[in-house]
Structure formats: structure tokens, C-alpha cells
Structure 1
Amino acid sequence: MPDHDTYDRLISLLDSSGVGYTFIDHEPEGTTEAVSALRGHPVSEAAKCIVLRVKVDRRTTRHVLAVVPGDRRVDLDAVKTLFAARYVGFSDAGTAERLARAVPGTVLPFSFDPALELVADPDVVAQPRLYFNAARLDRSLSLAGADYERVARPRVARVAVPAGV
């Protein structure tokens, strides 16, 4: 079950960090392509957030929040290599909602759960402006990629490939 204070927690974090951000209110939408059109920016400037299950060995499972540009997809093999894992796959919806504290389509590129490790592709943090749903389907945020990196403190690693690959 999502934690209903995720939005407030995000705003509090950004405000206390002193970063500049912009709200963008829009029709409720959770798919990257459609919400990017509503916000009026290229899909490549969106942060696509995917919760992954990473089996390091038979007894150790980690959960990773991979953040990639909106026009790309997560490279599961790259994540597997990054974590020296045996298996990487998409997390089930219940686990993803519990760890991300948000429903699908509203997952933030931030982690508020120590059990959810944050990894961002370098092309995400390099964006002059980065856009994402703010734990709500009807409101998004925009902030500089460098500010995102400073506040979210993701592990930065190449984890994205073009969508058609």
C-alpha cells in the first residue's frame, strides 16, 4: 500500500535542500509518453522510474529503483553486472508500491526506503531540466538534473538502452 505522505515528503526534502523546482499541474496521467506531452517537453527529459528485483545469490535479494530517461528502457543486463547478480527482473506491483511508497505511474526518482537502492543513468542527472510525476497522477515537478543528483544522491551508472534495443 502506498504511503500517502510521499508527496509531502518530497516537497519537504526539496524545500529543505534549497533547490529550485517548478510544479506542473495537468490531467491525471501516469505513462511517460502521454504525461510528457501534457507537460510540453521531449520524452527524453522525463525520469522513468522502474522498481527491480535483484537476486545477488540464492539468499540475497535487493530492490533497486532504476531511473532512466523517458525515451529509453532499463538495461537489465547492465543492472545485473552492476550488482554482480544472478538475476534481475521487474518487481511485482505490491512490492514496488510498498518500497516506492507510490502507485505505478507516480513513482518518484527518489527513495524514501532504505531497502530500495537508487540508481540513475548518467543521462538523467545530465538533464538541464528533469520532469517526473510528483507521487501524484495530476501534478509533476521539474528541476535541474544536477539538483536532482545532489538531493537524491543516486548511484550513477549506465543502466539505460534505447527503447528499441
Structure 2
Amino acid sequence: MPDHAEHDTYDHLIALLDSSHVDYRLLDHAPEGGTAAVCALRGHPASEAAKCIVLRVRTDRRTTRHVLAVVPGDRRVDLDAVRALFGARYVGFSDPETAERLAHAVPGTVLPFSFDPDLEVVADPDVVARPKLYFNAARLDRSLLISGADYERLAKPRIERIAAPARAEA
């Protein structure tokens, strides 16, 4: 994805926050996109991070939609829950090119917001319940802190139980 597109998404996010008069804080840090590593850089538990994953949801042979699943950073997306939610035949991770196109961001910088009508946002209730919610701000070197309530009000995600415990490392 061209560098200017990354900045366009960042600028769009900041304009949305400013025009909505939301309290937020920007945090600069070393470039990092991995949830655990960026949480360490920002100095907070992974449970306060928004992990954002673009999914491909096939409801039948002809119909594919894309969903931005937002779960706490210390959890994983429960693909079976998403499958049941949409009555889908198949749910899996979107290919990187499609994810970048729909999220308007490179992997590791995907926002818990959608600025594309073809990308529906579904957030776990534990995300919006957080008093502090951190996520990369469409950049690897800058993050944002916002309340879960303000996130819910601005992003207007569909709230559904889609998070599962993280798998234990082998």
C-alpha cells in the first residue's frame, strides 16, 4: 500500500475524532504491528488493546462478504462464533491484499473502524466495555488511546460475542 494511503487513513481517523469532540491521546513509539510487542511499548496489558482482523465470510457459493472483527488483544477471533453469527458456510482470514484494500491500512495498523462500506465492523462486548482502548492509529509508529464507550459511539460496530481465549503457545 502506498505510504500516502496510510496517512490518508490516519488523517481520516483524526478528523473523525476531532469533529466528534472525543477525548483521545496519541502515543508515539518504535514501529511495531504485533499486538504483544506494541502493548509492551505502550506499557499496558494486552486486554486493553483492540485486535483487528479482516475476515472473509462466505454465506453461500456466490456470496462473500468481509467483516472486521475486533477483539481484546489478549484473545483471538472465534471463527465458529462468526460463522454462526452470519449463518455462513465458511469463515477465514482475508488475504492480505483484500484486507489492505478494505481496511485502508497495512497489517498491524488496521483500525477498529471501517471507512469502507464493504467492510462491516463486529466488535466483542469486552472491547467496548474497556475504559481504556489502545490501537495502532493506521501507522506502525503511532497509537491511539480512547474509551471503549467513545469507540462504540463513533465506530457503531455490531456488538457480538466473537472473542475466544488465546491459544496456549506450544
Is 1:66 equivalent to 2:30 in the alignment?
A: no
Structure 1 CA distance for aligned equivalents of residues 22 and 60 of structure 2: 39
Q: Note the C-alpha offset of 1:18.
A: 1.0
Is 1:29 equivalent to 2:32 in the alignment?
A: yes
Match of 1:149, SS state, is: helix
**What amino acid does structure 2 have at the position aligned with 1:39?**
R
- Select the residue among 104, 121, 125 that pairs with 2:124: 121
Q: Note the C-alpha offset of 1:32.
A: 0.3
Structure 1 CA distance for aligned equivalents of residues 112 and 89 of structure 2: 25
**What amino acid does structure 2 have at the position aligned with 1:14?**
L
Structure 2 CA distance for aligned equivalents of residues 125 and 79 of structure 1: 18
Partner of 2:9: 6
Match of 1:33, SS state, is: helix
Partner of 1:42: 45
CA RMSD of aligned residues (A): 0.9
Deviations 1:101-139 (A, max 9, x none): 000000000000000000000000000000000000000
Structure 2 CA distance for aligned equivalents of residues 157 and 40 of structure 1: 28
Displaced runs of 4 or more, over 4 A: none
**What amino acid does structure 2 have at the position aligned with 1:127?**
R
The TM-score, its normalising length taken from structure 1, stands at 0.98
- Select the residue among 138, 148, 153 that pairs with 1:150: 153
**What amino acid does structure 1 have at the position aligned with 2:95?**
D
Aligned residues with identical type, % of pairs: 78
Structure 1 CA distance for aligned equivalents of residues 69 and 120 of structure 2: 8
Structure 1 CA distance for aligned equivalents of residues 118 and 95 of structure 2: 15
Match of 2:108, SS state, is: coil
Structure 1 CA distance for aligned equivalents of residues 96 and 27 of structure 2: 26
Q: How many residues align?
A: 165
The within-5 A match list for 1:86-105 is 86-105=89-108
Q: Note the C-alpha offset of 1:66.
A: 0.1
**What amino acid does structure 2 have at the position aligned with 1:49?**
C
